[in-house]
Amino acid sequence: MSAKRQLTLNLFIYPGGHHEAAWRHPNSSPDDLLDIAFYQDLAKRAEEATFDSLFFADGPVLADNIRYASRFRVEPITWLAAIAGVTRSIGLIATASTTYFEPYNLARLFASLDHLSRGRAGWNIVTTSAGQAAQNFGLSEHPAHTERYERGREFVELITKLWDSWEDDAVAADQASGLFADTSKIHFVDHIGRHFRVKGPLNIPRSPQGRPVYVQAGSSEDGRLFAAQYAEAIFTAHQTIESARNFYADIKKRAAAFGRHPDHVKILPGISPFIGSTEAEARRLEEEFDALIQPDYSLTQLNRMLGIDLSSFDLDGPFPRHLLDRDGAIGVASRFQLVADIIDRENPTIRQLIQRLAGGRGHYVKAGTPEQIADEIQLWFENGAADGFNVMPPWLPGGFDVFACEVVPLLRKRGLFRDHYEGTTLRDHYGLPRPESLFATPVRASA
């Protein structure tokens, strides 16, 4: 008899919280945003709540609108290494770009984090959409969408070879004979491709998980193909259960077409909950945050998503739908499509739209009681829309604390979420197999 399916819950950490005005709220602590102790304490709370992992987003460029929001980026691998030292079980997922890293260096960084944490590392694979990043790396222009995904595929295939270049038993450490490593089990990768030429092998033994867990967050056509082929967890944004169910079914079907087990691809939408003792109280809390919005920031965000400058328009007027370039280059982006769907479905004013997006940049924002939040999570989980959620607190630490103290016990009572860790690695938490080395398989097959 198989074990009952369990939710996956990740804590998605943004400096200050996910609502764009979180840092301004009286319950926030903006002075703590660069204090590692703040994040270490938050990680320990998440571990006490038996969350699967912590997740840090990242990008190699300063946000255009830093004037109004706490949208700086700490380097996540460094940050998570410090968090690893004060935790024992919770997974540690960092974002890194295949466009602006080199495979060998990134392989070393993540292998080191996986060793340091005894098998808790995950890599959120992004190709980077911010065009300004090119100028930080000596490039004249940002690679096109398709080009970035082509490089990303080669990057993942190469870095996989590097992580596999040491077989699991390559380190003999035989003190009597003096043999430290069996060099027949350490392999050159000899990769020559369109974007990379790397001989290898990696200069560190294979890590506890074999490879970090592969995470991906793109929902465009290229993103879906990439995720179905490589990702073991997918972070995604949906406003309705219908949209989430369609995405879920599509990815699982595509993964199966690549010969993968659909259960080994976790679909994890984002949810940003405002929680109160009554629904009215939760909505008042959301309104408090929305009242702190800086429209200049919000309109810049909207321009980035839609490619439309609305700064000269009346905020309380209707959204100018005729300006949406659905057939242009930006129209293929998943976030463009998500926001366009909101406009088509709800016909909001510009102000209503920026308030709608302020809490999660297109992720699902839900205001309600702990029971209502638990009901929504259960509904999506049990009806083919999610394997779990990226929990995106509107502010920190309070937005997380109320979820951990009020919602998690309800999920446990309903038999949907663990009350203790059953394994020690992130792969254990996600129910993923530990992959064999690509280089070991032929050796065993011929033995």
Q: Would the annotation count 58 as a binding residue?
A: yes
Q: How many domains does the chain have?
A: 1
Residue 36 lies in a domain: yes
Residue 191 lies in a domain: yes
Residue 333 lies in a domain: no
First-last CA distance in the chain = 35
Residue 338 lies in a domain: no
Domain of 275, in residue numbers: 8-280+362-430
Q: Would the annotation count 112 as a binding residue?
A: no
Residue 125 lies in a domain: yes
Residue 303 lies in a domain: no
pLDDT in tens, 316-337: 888 888 888 877 766 556 678 7
- The pLDDT value recorded for residue 444 is 46
Residue 199 lies in a domain: yes
Which residue, among 118, 185, 113, 197, has the nearest Cα to 154 in the 3D structure? Answer: 197
pLDDT in tens, 52-75: 999 999 988 887 678 777 778 899
Q: Token pair of 397, please?
A: 């630490």
CATH (domain of 275): 3.20.20.30
- Give the predicted TM-score (pTM) of the model: 0.91
Q: Token pair of 383, please?
A: 């009806």
Q: Would the annotation count 296 as a binding residue?
A: no
Q: Would the annotation count 95 as a binding residue?
A: yes
Q: Would the annotation count 52 as a binding residue?
A: no
Using the Cα atoms of residue 337, residue 340, residue 345 and residue 350 in order, give the sign of their dihedral.
positive
Q: Would the annotation count 190 as a binding residue?
A: no
Residue 372 lies in a domain: yes
pLDDT in tens, 221-249: 888 999 999 999 999 999 899 999 999 99
